[in-house]
Structure 1
Amino acid sequence: MKTKLGFKYTTGKIILSQIDQLAHQQEEKTKGIRKEFAQKWCKERCNESERYRYDRIRFFAQFSSYLCDLGIPSYIPKLPRYPKNTFVPYIYSQKEVHALFKAADELRSVKRNMNSCLICMPALVRLLYCTGIRIGEALAITDEDVNLEENYLQVKDSKNGKERIIPISTSLVVVCKEYKLYRDQLPIKNKSEYFFVNINGNKCGQGVRSWFKKCLNKAAIYHTGNNHGPRIHDLRHTFAVTSLASMAEAGVDLYASLPILSNYLGHGSIGATNHYVRLTANMYPDLIRDVDMTCLNVFPKYNNYEAN
C-alpha cells in the first residue's frame, strides 16, 4: 500500500521483515497482534539508538493500525517520546561559499584516474548551492533533465519520490553550458545519459565527497566535530536559510513563502521546512524580528494512543 502511494518505504520493508521473523520465532498463531508480542518487540535493545527504537515501534504501530482498519483486532503500542534532535547543520557564510567556488576551480589531479569526478566539481558545487537540491538528486540528473534554453532542471529521482521542476538562474545556466562544452570534448569511452559524469563517462559516485573534502581544505573551512560538518549536504541547508533570509529582507511574509520553499526543496511536509525558520531566526535575528516566535511550532505533532 505504501509503495503504491509513492513512498519508497525502504526502512519500513526491512522492519516489517524483522517483525515477521520474530513472529515466526515466537510461533505466533493469532491472526492479529497480541499485546505480549507487541511488548516483546518494543523492548529496548543493546546498542540501539533512541531514534532507531522509535522508528521500530512507529512502523510496528502503523502495521497494527493497518490490521485494525482491515477488521483484524490488533494491539497498537504507544510510541515512546520522540528523541530530541540536537543536530544543527553547518551554514556556510558568503565568504566561505566564494572560497569553495575558487577551491573547486583550482582542483587538480596528481595522477591519471579515469574514474575521477574532478571535471564536474566546479559546476556541481555551484549547482548544489544555487538550487538546494540533494547530492543524490544532482548526480541522478540526466542530460534530458537539464533544459539550458528555458532555464530549469527536472528532478525525478527524489528522496520522497516526488518529481519537481526547479528554475535556475542565468549565471548557473552559463556555468552548466561551460561544463557541458568541455565534458562533450572528452574522449569518453562509455556514453552515459547522466549530466555529471567521470572521465570514463560513467555516473559520478562517492568520489564527489572526497573531492569536496579537498575543496574544504583548500578553502580553509575546517571540521567542527560532533558530526556537525561541514558536509556537502550543508550546501542545501545554506540555500534554504539564505533563501528565507532574502525573502525576509525583501519584506515577504515567511509563512506565506514556506509552501513555495517546501515544494522547491522537495520536502514531504511544510513542517520539515519550518525547521529552517528557526535556523534563520537564530542567524539573522534583526531580519526576522517581526516574525512571531511563538508560532514557530504551529504545525501539530502526531498523537499516538495505546489501545487493546
Structure 2
Amino acid sequence: MSILRQAAIDYFAIRRALGFKLMRAEKLLEQFVSFVEQQGDNRITTEAAVAWATLPRSGQTWSYARLSVVRRFASYMRSTDPATEVPPTHILVQKKGRATPFLYSPADLSALINATRSYRCPDRGTTLRMLIGLLSVTGMRIGEAIRLNLEDFDSGNGILTIANTKFGKTREVPLHPTTTTAVSAYLERPHQPIRRKGTRALFLSTIGTRLSYNCVQQTFRRLTAASGLKSRTTSCRPRIHDLRHTFAVATILDGYRDGNEPGNRIALLSTYLGHVDPASTYWYLSAAPELLALANVRLERDLGGAA
C-alpha cells in the first residue's frame, strides 16, 4: 500500500471519529489517489490535483467540489510531509450560488402523488407516494428517510427515531396521527416485496432491498417531468430536497396565520429539522415571497402601533 493511500485511510479514520460521514469524499479521494499512483507519483501536487479535478465531464461546479476534497486532504498531509502542495483557493473558484428553493404548492404535491400511479408495478408507486408524503409532512432529509429501519417507527407513540443524521446525532420526530396511520398501513400492505435477508429498511425497493439514494433522485426527476412541474428559473428547479424547504416555510406561515408569534417557532423547527444552528433554518425561510409579505405586514402593524 502506498504512503498516500495509507494516509488517506488514516485521514478518514480521524475525521469520522469527529462525527463526519464523508462517504462521497472518501470515494472521490480514493479516485484521486489512484490517479496520482497511475502518474507514478506518491505525493500531492497542485498540478495533479487540478488535472484530476478537471477531468472530462467534470463541470465547473463539480470540479470545484472535487478540488475541495483534495485541498482538505492536502492540508492534513502538509502537517507530516512539507513537500505536499496545497492547491490555492483561487483556483477553480465556484461561481454558482446556492439553488433557489422550489416551494411546492398543494397542487404541485397532488400532481407528484398522481404521477406515481402510472407505474406498472403498483408497489413501486405505493412506496413513492409514502416516501413523498412522509418527506412533505416531516421535513426529513431524503437520506434520513431511506436509512429508516422498521424499529425506528414507534406506531404506539407516533414517533420516528432518526439515527446517525447528517451531524452524527439522533433525534425523535413526533408524527401527526394521520401520518402514523399511513405509515402503519404502508408496512402492513398486502403483496409487498419479499424482504432480502438482513434488510431492516422501512422503505423497500421492488426487489426487497433498501432504496438507493441515486435511484430515488433519478425517479423523482422523472416524476417531476411526468407531473408537468417545470423549472421556474435556471437556479430554481424541482428537487426532492425542496420538500424540506416547503415544510419549513409552511410551518412558519401557519404561525403567522394563527396570529401567534412565528419567531417562537424557529427554535422548535430547527430542532425538528435536525439543524445544529437556527441560522440554517433561517436560510430555508429566506426564499418565500409569501412569508416575506406576511413579515412585512406584521412589521408595518407593529410600527404603526408604536407611532
TM-score higher than 0.5? yes
What letter matches 2:249 in structure 1?
Answer: V
% same residue: 24
TM-score by length of 2: 0.69
Taking structure 1 as reference, are residues 153 and 76 closer, same or farther at Cα in structure 2, changes over 3 Å only? same
* Deviation digits for residues 148-177 of structure 1 (CA, Å, limit 9, x no counterpart): 211211123644544322111122112223
Q: Partner amino acid for 1:261?
A: L
Match of 2:304 in 1: none
Query: Comparing 238-247 with 126-135, which one deviates more in the overlay?
Result: 238-247
Classify the secondary structure of the residue corresponding to 1:153: strand
Q: Is 1:9 aligned with 2:9?
A: no
What TM-score do the two structures reach when normalised by structure 1? Answer: 0.69
Residue number in structure 1 paired with 2:292: 285
3-state SS of paired residue (2:182): helix
Taking the aligned partners of 2:15 and 2:34, their CA distance within structure 1 comes to: 21
Q: Does 1:175 align with 2:187?
A: no
Question: In the alignment, is the contact (CA less than 8 A) between 2:152 and 2:161 conserved in 1?
Answer: yes
Alignment correspondent of 1:59: 69
> In 2, are the aligned partners of 1:117 and 1:207 still within 8 Å (CA)?
no
Q: Is the 8 A contact 2:154 2:160 kept in 1?
A: yes
1:142 corresponds in structure 2 to 149
Q: Following TM superposition, where does structure 1 have runs of at least 4 consecutive aligned residues deviating by more than 6 angstroms? A: none
User: 2: distance between equivalents of 1:23 and 1:126?
Assistant: 45
Corresponding residue of 2:249: 241
Aligned equivalents of 1:100, 1:63: Cα separation in 2: 41
CA spacing shift, 1:171–1:216, aligned 2, 3 Å = farther
3-state DSSP of counterpart to 2:296: coil
- Larger % of helix: which? 2
Q: Using CA pairs below 8 Å that are at least 6 residues apart, which structure has the higher relative contact order?
A: 1
> Which residue is equivalent to 1:90?
102
- In 2, Cα distance between equivalents of 1:67 and 1:126: 45
Spell out the pairing of 1:215-294 with structure 2 (5 A cutoff).
Answer: 217=226, 221-224=228-231, 226=234, 228-249=236-257, 250-253=260-263, 257=266, 260-267=268-275, 270-280=278-288, 282-289=289-296
Contact 1:67 1:73 in 2 (8 A): no
Question: What SS is found at the alignment partner of 2:261?
Answer: coil
CA contact (8 A) 2:148 2:202 kept: yes
Distance 1:121 1:198 in 2: 10
Q: What is the distance in 2 between the residues matched to 1:26 and 1:277?
A: 47
RMSD between superposed Cα atoms in Å: 4.0
Unaligned runs of 5+ in 1: 293-308
What displacement does 1:272 show? Answer: 4.1
Is 2:63 the counterpart of 1:48? no
- Given residue 16 of structure 2, which amino acid in structure 1 is its aligned partner? T
- In structure 2, what residue type is equivalent to 1:9? L
2:139 counterpart residue number: 132
Residues 244-297 of structure 1: CA deviation (Å, up to 9, x unaligned): 33345532327x82x5434433446555434213213x34222223899xxxxx
Residues 97-151 of structure 1: CA deviation (Å, up to 9, x unaligned): 35555x27x9366x5x48x423334433321100111333223322211112112
Matched, 1:186 2:199: no
- Do the aligned partners of residues 14 and 222 (structure 1) sit closer, same or farther apart at CA in structure 2, a change above 3 Å counting? closer
Q: Take 1:77 and 1:117, find their aligned partners in 2: how far apart are those partners?
A: 46
The separation in 2 between residues aligned to 1:204 and 1:212, in whole angstroms, is: 16
CA distance, structure 2, for counterparts of residue 169 and residue 60 of structure 1 = 44
Structure 1 28/228 Cα, relative in aligned 2: closer, same or farther at 3 Å? same
User: Any unmatched runs of 5+ in structure 2?
Assistant: 1-13, 300-307
What secondary structure, in the 3-state scheme, does the structure 2 residue paired with 1:141 have? coil
Q: CA deviation at 1:189?
A: 4.0
